[in-house]
A and B are shown apart, each in its own frame.
Chain A
Amino acid sequence: MRQLLLVAPILIPLAAASLTALLWSRPAAQRAVGLVAAIALFIATLVLLAEVIAGGMVVGQMGNWPAPFGITMVVDHLSAAMLAITGLMGLAVAVYAMGPGAQERDRAGFQPLFHALLMGVAGAFSTGDLFNLYVWFEVMLIASFGLLVLDRTREQLDGGLRYVMLNLVGTTFFLLAVGLIYGLTGTLNLADLARVAPGVENQGALAAVAVLLLVSFGAKAAVFPLFNWLPASYHTASMPVAAIFAALLTKVGVYAIIRVFTLVFAHDHALFGPILAGIAIATMVVGVLGAAAHYDVRRILSFHIISQIGYMLIGVALMTPLAIAGSVLYIVHHIVVKANLFLVAGAIRQVGGSFALARLGGLWVSAPLLGILFLIPALSLAGIPPLSGFWGKFVVIRASLEAEAWLLAFVALAVGLLTLYSMIKIWNEAFWKAAPDVAPRAEWTRAERVATFAPIVALCAVTLMIGLWTEPFAAFSLAAAEALLDREAYIAAVLGPNPVRLAEAAP
């Protein structure tokens, strides 16, 4: 039963992607299948999360090949949380995508690609093998390429090319690192790597591999200085696509960094801790300054993705239980809030007729509900208590202060303030200033309105829940951090008490 649960988050989107592809000429049927699959995925991931909380890590060996030989799947606290949030986002965006523009999107192939993307993300979160992670990265990438250029506008083709080229090079670096680490250790199973890595003779070469992995995961996570593909492409995608990208894609990179640097390269923390801290600082600052310079809702939000990635790296940079717990809490909060802001941006476009702040205005008068639904995630992103972002920031900053990383703490606080500036800019321009002379009001049906607002309201409720009832989320994050730092338990759970030793690699 546990084994079935382990593969369900991959099998459900796989079935959905295949079925919707078969139903190519019938968009309405595709949409129904997609919605059912998204609901099923959300339920499956929640059950898996409950299972992990109740009974600890779930490990499965595909085809019953023992650990270092076969393909291992491992879901620990962090993976389970990421899977559950993937399920939530999949459902929210699947509903949202039934809103305005659904016909055109579905005819262009949105549904199969969307579910293939969810499959890739779920696979990346649940695999316990480095090469397997590479394969899931590619599944995710190819689906995201298709989604990004769905409408084939000039803007999308240009942005898509930038996204594609940089990510291609990033994943090739990953492949190169896989080859090198296999040559050094003779294994690609993450648990086995964690066991073998501290004893590798050529630690210099191992550190080089770690840098290669950091570059490829960093490019995926859009950290400084590898972030340029993100602001060049995200704002060109249609809003459901941008929302699911903003929620999940960069976070897969962050997850991979956390996983690999807490498990395999933990013994090298003295070398990589300061590097990661430097990257985190630069990422936070560059992202928030980029956002401050823009006047397009989508581009402001895109740059804020980058700046928030910096906060998530604080945990792995400091490697203390509290800091990692803060990162976990931050990731969970951020995914909900950031996806929601993109959904709200789509609604702003629908109600106000534009993404450009200069052409918006008066929305607080014409759509006060939308204003409240914007303020909840926006203020949460900036870290205003008692919303979810406050707790995420509070924990990572407190962890930085405890670790005496003063610069990290200071930058995190300052960037929070600048985030507030950007959010207030959107508020002032789009909601508060007088409406422009020509206020184009889009026509939309009641069903489209429900499909647009239902996920926004639901995600706002989740944000409020994390903010007002933080205790279980904080406790879970601490448990996740403990599980991440307890490498011995991970290795024992995957490899068993007496690990099979692979033939030692020749020197």
Chain B
Amino acid sequence: MEILLSLSIGVLVAAAAYLLLARDLPRALLGFVLLGTAANLSIFAAGRIGTMVPPLVDQGARALATEAANPLPQALVLTAIVIGFGLAAFTLVLIRSAHGALGTVSADEMHEAERPDETPASVAAAPGAGVPSHRREAA
């Protein structure tokens, strides 16, 4: 079981790395989702697997039975799944609004944030009336 789990974590990380390298943002987001899943599985595996006894404290008992599964990784993974889902949902919406505003989902075709600065030379060549040059191009 542990070998199967490690193998699937490895495959997930490999697939995630491949997708994260894509210039296409929805693909990169899927890569993030896969990487998150791999991280969650690794937390689960770190809590030692092997037992099928649910981590419930018996009536009258003060502690878990020794053969019960480790409840902590389950709590951690649950938290991480919720957080990861929230982030993925936000990012999807962000990609969608970027698609609406910029007309593309490819990181290669987005040049809005890091345009070259206006240098004294470039302004002297095309003074304009106080309007940054790229604004005029866009308009």
Q: Which residues of A contact B (CB under 8 A)?
A: 131, 134-135, 138, 141-142, 145-146, 149, 152-162, 164-165, 168-169, 172, 175-176, 178-180, 182-184, 231-233, 235-236, 294-296, 299, 353-354, 356-359, 429, 437-438, 440, 505-506
Contact = CB atoms under 8 A, between A and B. Distances in A.
B118 A233 contact: no
Interface string B83-99: 11011001100110110
Contact of A440 (B44, B127, B130): B130
Contacts, number: 142
7 contacts: A131-B76, A157-B102, A159-B114, A161-B110, A164-B90, A179-B46, A359-B132
B120 A357 contact: yes
Contacts of B57: none
A356 B132 contact: yes
B46 A154 contact: no
B79 A135 contact: yes
B42 interface: yes
Given A155-B112, A354-B132, 4 more contacts: A142-B86, A154-B102, A180-B46, A183-B47
B97 A182 contact: no
Q: Which 5 A-B pairs have the closest CB atoms?
A: A183-B46, A179-B43, A159-B113, A358-B123, A158-B112
Given A175-B39, A176-B42, A149 B94 contact: yes
B58 to A, nearest CB: 18
B90 A142 contact: yes
Question: Taking each of A162, A168, A295, which has the highest tally of chain B beta carbons within 10 Å of its own beta carbon?
Answer: A168
Nearest to B124: A358
Given A135-B79, A145-B90, A357-B120, A161 B129 contact: no
A161 B46 contact: no
B6 to A, nearest CB: 11
Contact of B91 (A159, A165, A172): A165
A175 B76 CA distance: 10
A90 to B, nearest CB: 23
Contact of B87 (A141, A154, A505): A141
Interface of B: 20, 25, 28-29, 32, 35-36, 38-40, 42-48, 72-73, 76, 79-80, 83-84, 86-87, 90-91, 94-95, 97-98, 101-102, 107, 110-114, 117-120, 122-124, 127, 129-130, 132, 138
A231 B116 CA distance: 12
A164 B76 contact: no
Contacts of B25: 161, 165
B27 to A, nearest CB: 11
B118 A154 contact: no
A83 to B, nearest CB: 23
A359 B38 contact: no
B76 A169 contact: no
Contacts of B98: 157-158, 160-161
Given A176-B39, A178-B76, A359-B118, A158 B102 contact: yes
Contacts of A175: 36, 39-40, 43, 80
Contact of B112 (A135, A152, A154): A154
Contact of B118 (A165, A179, A183, A295): A295
**Interface residues of B, dominant DSSP:** helix
Given A169-B20, A172-B36, A353-B130, A295 B119 contact: yes
A158 B80 CA distance: 27
A328 to B, nearest CB: 30
B129 to A, nearest CB: 6
Contacts of A183: 42, 45-48
User: Which residue of B76, B114, B120 has the most chain A CB atoms within 10 A of its CB atom?
Assistant: B114
A134 B95 CA distance: 24
Contacts of A236: 113
A151 to B, nearest CB: 11
Contacts of B127: 437
B130 A145 contact: no
Nearest to B38: A176
A176 B84 CA distance: 13
A438 B117 contact: no
Contact of A158 (B110, B129, B130): B110
Contacts of B94: 145, 149, 157, 160-161, 164
A294 B45 CA distance: 48
Contacts of B40: 175, 179
Nearest to A437: B127
A356 B123 contact: yes
